[in-house]
């Protein structure tokens, strides 16, 4: 286990936050939420502090905050993850909690088909760690087991602004109909970005999440390119499959959408994620360069080349800009 304070670890940008409400994550129970409800702790937005804002319980805080304990014990909150996954790292954020943050916290995890019960067996994912006020705490996790729920323990009480559970989605493809058409790159099917040349406006994970983008910040956008070339992103599919239709959505991108895009793909075996960057330049073309428009859904089916089953794709955008969503519909191989 490695812990850093206010210095993000690699897992933050490499792995998806499994505790996102839009993926289905939600608090199931907590010992107390007197000052602030636990659901605020899972908000995708950075925590804010509003001067002079109070409610019936006291100062309004953007996070989960319990009352002061006077009888011993400690507080805890059980959270259902949006998708089952292997936890790679945890962020415990105490932003704006200064005189009311917990001095320590730990995290348990379990795998449960339904909501956890009194007989559920919990396992320690993160042992007790010291916390600081108004700080981001990043804790790496080295455990290959799959979890569906986590339990945050705070000692003895206090407030946590945000809880992020970064991990690798795990899918049970044995139960899927092999003839069904699915989005092979969707996060709920195990798709994930593994390499990109630029993420100035944020990591590209939203590109593969459910639904259309809610605003221009909900997608993948690169900086303005001032030199020759183009931007690119490599995605590992959730399962080896044959792609039949491609959807590129530029929702909310109007003065900053890419002029064109293309996609290369391959069935990759061996090597490392880093070595794929070089290999991907020579992958077969799945979708030749296609013109894009602002704030629109672009569907390509006849233009998709029949190159057989693939495991990885490389999305090229020319020369730069932002895309809200990418869908790769096909059948598993």
- Range from 155-159, 208-212, 272-276, 287-291 carrying the lowest mean pLDDT: 272-276
Domain boundary (150, 169, 188) is at 169
What b-and-e string marks burial along 22-45, b requiring 16 or more CB atoms within 10 Å of the CB?
ebebebeebebbebbebbbbbbee
Question: 253 lies in which domain range?
Answer: 173-332
For 252, the token pair is 């909310």
Identify the three-state secondary structure at position 86: strand
Question: Mind listing the pLDDT tens digit for each residue in 201-256?
Answer: 988 999 999 999 999 999 999 999 999 999 999 999 999 999 999 999 999 999 99
Question: Mind listing the pLDDT tens digit for each residue in 57-97?
Answer: 889 999 999 999 999 999 999 999 999 999 999 999 999 99
Same domain, residue pair 191 and 288: yes
Same domain, residue pair 186 and 254: yes
Same domain, residue pair 244 and 122: no
Same domain, residue pair 215 and 232: yes
Backbone angles phi, psi at 269, to 5 degrees: -130, 135
Same domain, residue pair 226 and 102: no
Question: What contacts 275, CB < 8 A, 6 or more positions away?
Answer: none
Nearest Cα residue to 92 out of 27, 162, 142: 162
What CATH number did the domain enclosing 294 receive? 2.60.120.260
CB 324 within 8 A of CB 249: yes
Domain boundary (144, 169, 194) is at 169
Same domain, residue pair 165 and 192: no
CB 5 within 8 A of CB 135: yes
Same domain, residue pair 304 and 231: yes
Categorize the per-residue pLDDT at 273 as very low, low, confident or very high, splitting at 50, 70 and 90.
confident
pLDDT above 90: residue 305: yes
Q: How far from the centroid of its chain's Cα atoms is residue 170's Cα?
A: 13
Domain boundary (169, 190, 205) is at 169
Q: How many domains would you assign to the chain?
A: 2
């Amino acid at each position: 286990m490695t812990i850093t304070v206010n210095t993000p670890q690699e897992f933050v940008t490499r792995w998806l936050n499994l505790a996102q409400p839009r993926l289905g994550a939600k608090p199931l129970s907590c010992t107390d939420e007197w000052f602030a409800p636990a659901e605020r702790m899972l908000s995708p937005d950075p925590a804010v502090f509003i001067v002079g804002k109070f409610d019936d319980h006291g100062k309004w805080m953007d996070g989960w905050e319990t009352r002061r304990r006077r009888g011993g014990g400690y507080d805890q909150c059980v959270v259902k993850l949006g998708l089952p996954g292997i936890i790679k790292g945890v962020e415990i954020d105490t932003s704006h909690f200064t005189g009311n943050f917990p001095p320590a916290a730990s995290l348990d995890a379990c795998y449960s088909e339904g909501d956890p019960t009194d007989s559920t067996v919990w396992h320690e994912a993160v042992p007790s760690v010291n916390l600081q006020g108004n700080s981001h705490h990043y804790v790496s996790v080295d455990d290959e087991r799959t979890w569906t729920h986590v339990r945050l323990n705070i000692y003895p009480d206090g407030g946590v602004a945000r809880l992020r559970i970064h991990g690798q989605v795990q899918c049970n493809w044995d139960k899927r109909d092999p003839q069904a058409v699915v989005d092979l790159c969707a996060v709920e099917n195990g798709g994930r970005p593994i390499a990109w040349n630029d993420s100035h406006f944020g990591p590209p994970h939203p590109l593969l999440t459910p639904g259309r983008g809610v605003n221009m910040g909900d997608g993948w956008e690169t900086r303005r390119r001032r030199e020759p070339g183009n931007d690119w992103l490599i995605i590992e599919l959730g399962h080896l499959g044959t792609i039949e239709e491609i959807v590129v959505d530029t929702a909310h991108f109007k003065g900053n959408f890419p002029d064109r895009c293309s996609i290369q793909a391959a069935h990759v075996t061996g090597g490392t994620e880093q070595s794929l960057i070089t290999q991907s330049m020579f992958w077969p073309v799945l979708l030749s360069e296609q013109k894009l428009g602002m704030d629109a859904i672009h569907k390509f089916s006849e233009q998709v080349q029949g190159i057989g089953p693939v495991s990885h794709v490389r999305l090229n955008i020319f020369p730069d800009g932002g895309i809200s969503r990418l869908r790769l519909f096909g059948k598993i191989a």
